[in-house]
Chain A
Amino acid sequence: DVKVTQSSRYLVKRTGEKVFLECVQDMDHENMFWYRQDPGLGLRLIYFSYDVKMKEKGDIPEGYSVSREKKERFSLILESASTNQTSMYLCASSKRTGGYQPQHFGDGTRLSIL
């Protein structure tokens, strides 16, 4: 089974802090994704990556950056955390080849910015 592991289930940080959310997958997937999930808004794509050192903006990249130095790890960075970034953050991965690939999700990090 694919395992996508997010480093923290719950995280509390202060406004202005630099916040790192880490995600690791163990199935050699090329694609990795970061979403945020808010009530009534579903999942919104922040950033995704097709390969090491590659990144593409999703629908809501403002206030975020990402890093993919190794294939298995995809980090989401909040450069200067703000209260409107309080949310559930979900990481996912998928294989690139063949199309028709499901995404595999971690259990999420519930981030509160005070």
Chain B
Amino acid sequence: SQQGEEDPQALSIQEGENATMNCSYKTSINNLQWYRQNSGRGLVHLILIRSNEREKHSGRLRVTLDTSKKSSSLLITASRAADTASYFCATDAGAGNMLTFGGGTRLMVKP
């Protein structure tokens, strides 16, 4: 079953702009993770936020988590053409590191 739902499904922006992607989920979680997938490749882990954290930063990435609304957002600041990829949220409900992935947001950054 698909726990996370990303919004929007697709996003097109100009280089230098910020990109915001949202994720909603349905059940209680242990942590929420964001992954990136370049075309035709595997997923790469970007950032993990625990259920007791509200915000986390890593370089140009900022993730927020609102457990009361069961939602998370990923912000990429000052985007670059190389950020073009699909981005997935994944929830970990604490059952043996099993993750449930959403459908992803396809981000295109135009130079």
Residues of A within 8 A of B (CB): 4, 31, 33, 35, 40-45, 48, 50, 58-59, 90, 92, 94, 96, 99-108, 110
Contacts and interface: CB of A to CB of B under 8 A. Distances in A.
B1 interface: yes
8 contacts: A41-B103, A44-B2, A92-B42, A92-B43, A100-B31, A103-B90, A105-B35, A107-B42
A43 B101 contact: yes
Interface stretch (B11-19, B66-74, B76-84, B91-99): B91-99
> In the complex, which of the residues A31, A40, A100, A107 has the most CB atoms of chain B within 10 Å of its own CB atom?
A100
Contacts, number: 66
Size category of the B interface is 20 to 34
Contacts of B30: 99-100
> In the complex, which of the residues B42, B45, B50 has the most CB atoms of chain A within 10 Å of its own CB atom?
B42
Nearest to B30: A99
> In the complex, which of the residues A35, A58, A102, A104 has the most CB atoms of chain B within 10 Å of its own CB atom?
A102
A42 B50 contact: no
Contacts of A94: 97
B102 A103 contact: no
Contacts of A42: 2, 88, 101-104
A103 B97 contact: yes
